[in-house]
Each structure stands twice: as structure tokens, then as C-alpha cells.
Structure 1
């Protein structure tokens, strides 16, 4: 086997995949590496004072993540982001990833920047791999930060003797004539899920001496309620709220 020759051939092939576009203040380098959107990863090279250069992604990496609706301000994600930046010695300013050094360090800087971009781009896998869990986390975080004043994962009994863990419960507000607000979260709303919620809410209402106000907050970025689900919700008095409509969510308080 001529492994050294194969490696040389690969290196020549890889170099041929890079393209450069010259601008007034920087050069854009288009790489053969793909991000989660199947776009080629690009970075920019610019000259700094003191015979130094800077490589940056022009904010594209984090902008792609924001575009997919992923909140990286949640504590565990922010810690992971900072860990990646530290590992590859990458600077972050105004959502732009960058690294600076002398021209002789270009190969190493380029490798570190691309490695960091690929690692951070993996944040999008959160949405594919565990989107339901993240939807719940982000919704709980929103309700907490905006002082909805409810209790998460509250246990309520029904007439059947079953105990139900309701995702979020807000106590009665006699002043505004609001009953006990029982709120279910549904990442992918469906006819079956609404029917199950309807049975649960009805079972609880049978032994609750006070008025209850049932609701479902669903992830409208994933899907919309089917017509049959809308009819069940209407017939059983369940309010449906798309999670992206924050003005509508405020009416739950």
C-alpha cells in the first residue's frame, strides 16, 4: 500500500475544494465542510495591525442556530458554548467567532476555528435528538422569567382515583374570576394527545369543587393542531395556545 501517496492525493484534492473570494477588507474562504443546513462553511481572513491576521465566521454559526429557534442562553448550553470556545481558544464578540495571530499560525488557527464551528454547529442536534425535552425546558424558563406564578409538574387527583402530573398549574384568581388553570405542554400536538388531555381534565373537574380552566401550550414550530384535535378542544373547553405567540400566553396569567 502506498499510504503516503494516498495522503498526498487527498491533500491536493482537499485544497482544490477551497475557493477564495476577495473583498476590499478581507478574503472569504469557502471550505468543503458542511454545516447542519448543508451549506459550505465559510470564514473570513482580514489583516490587523502589528503583522497579525484575524479569522472569523461573520456570525454565521450562531445565526444559523438562532434561526432554528434554539436558545443558547439556557445555562447548560451556555456552559457548553464557553467550554468549546475555551478549548479552541476562540473569541466571541457580538455573536462572531474569531481567532487572531501571526500569518505563520494560519494553518493552526484555521483548524481551530473550523473545529469550533463544527462543534457549535452540533447544537442544532439538540432540536433533532431531544426536541421535546428542550421545548419543555424553554417553556418552563419562559414562564418562570415572566412571573406566571405557577407550579411545575403539579400532581392533581381525578374522580377515577388516578393521580395526574400536570405540567404547569396556576392557582385560582377570584378577583378576575379565573379558576384553577391546568396547563399541559405538547411538543407535537395531535388528535390523540388532545383526547388524552381532555379525559384527564374532565376526570379532575369531577371532584374539584372549584372551576378549572384547562389549556394546552403546543409547539407550533413543530406542527399545527389537526382539525379533529381543534374540534375536541373546542367541545371540551380546552384553550390551545401556540408557544410562539407570547402575547396569547400572557392571557393565561
Structure 2
């Protein structure tokens, strides 16, 4: 078995072992091993329907952000939220993130909902009083100013059959190979692990010599060396936002 297969198998074993659930009336409350920006375990809710299954966060993700002062009502933030959710095939209704599933695609839909919750948390977790713009917006603006061509919110199906979303894709040119970018607004172990799994599950199905980059927000915090080392060990190039000009030329090629 290859290192890639070992990593994926270990990841899913950990995911299964650390996931717990309990029955609440007609619902099942599922507690995942993933942690939000408050270090609380992310919970989702499952209900069987006549035509399959319904999964939702019951509004917790957006409600928690609003309580912390993060406003999502501006047109730009609404557009980013919608684009992020669309990338995972997740709907939002009355602030609730939700998906419908059947027996065949249940695992994929559950995974997509959890990843969407993590992505929304990561993009919006800072209160308005602490930021003037979202990190995703900062990265996109810098790419535009640097005349770096890109597509945004691009998803691929990995070896596992799960959709893996990257924030930006820079296509192959005559002088450079394909480059895929993930942004990390809240650098921690879980955000690093998520990117590593996405890349490992995807890289063998992408064109040969494709490269992955992680642009890390270090504007108001120190980034642990363990995060840098973990990304680097899986051939993901970590780039601190304060040092982004070091990769401007290679991304623009």
C-alpha cells in the first residue's frame, strides 16, 4: 500500500473513531472530531425523509458568527458565502446550512456539509471590529493587482470520491505548471490537516508536476512552525501573507 493510501485510510479511521451520535426525537445529533474557531466540536443533525436524508447545522455556524459581531449582510460577503457553499453543493436557508442525501451519496453529502461549515468558519471567524476585509478578499485583490490569472472556488473529485475544493487555480502556461492555492485564515492543526488531505487525495489525478500553495494569514498572529513543517512535508508550499511577494513571480508565470 502506498503512502497516499495509508494516509487516506488512517484519516478515515480517525474520522470514524472520533465521530459520535445520539438520538433526539426524529433527529440524530452527530458530533464530529472537527473543531470550530471557538474550539468546540462541530455538530450536525440528521433526519430521515421519505426520499432520503436531510442534514443541517441547524443554523449554528452563521448564528455563532453573528453573535461574535461578524456581519454577513454586505453584498460582497453574501457573494463570498454563496460561492463558498456552492463549491461544496451546500444550500443556505434562514441561516441554516443544509444538504439532502440518499443512501448512495450520503457519505459525500455529509462530508461536503462539514467541509462547508469549516470553510465558512475559517473565512468569517473574526469580528468586524478586528478586520477591515476578509482574508479571501485580500488574497483575491492581491492576485488581481499582481496580474496573476486564476479561477476561484474550483472543486475536483479525489481518489476517495469526495469533492476537494481549492480557493484558486492557476492554469498551466508555457513557462509553468498548474498551481493550486488554499487560503488559511485561521492557522491551526485542523486547517493544516484539512488542506493536506485535500491535496494528497487530489494530486495524483491532476496534471503531472502540479503544485499546491497554502497562503497563511499571519497579520495578527504568530504561525506555529509545526504547521509550516506539516504542509511542507506533503509538498504544499506554505507562504506567510507577510512574505507573499516572494512567490509573486512564480504564480504570475
TM-score when scaled to structure 2? 0.48
Q: Please tell me whether Structure 1 or Structure 2 has the larger radius of gyration of its CA atoms.
A: 1
**Larger RCO of the pair (alpha carbons < 8 Å, separation 6+):** 2
TM-score when scaled to structure 1? 0.48
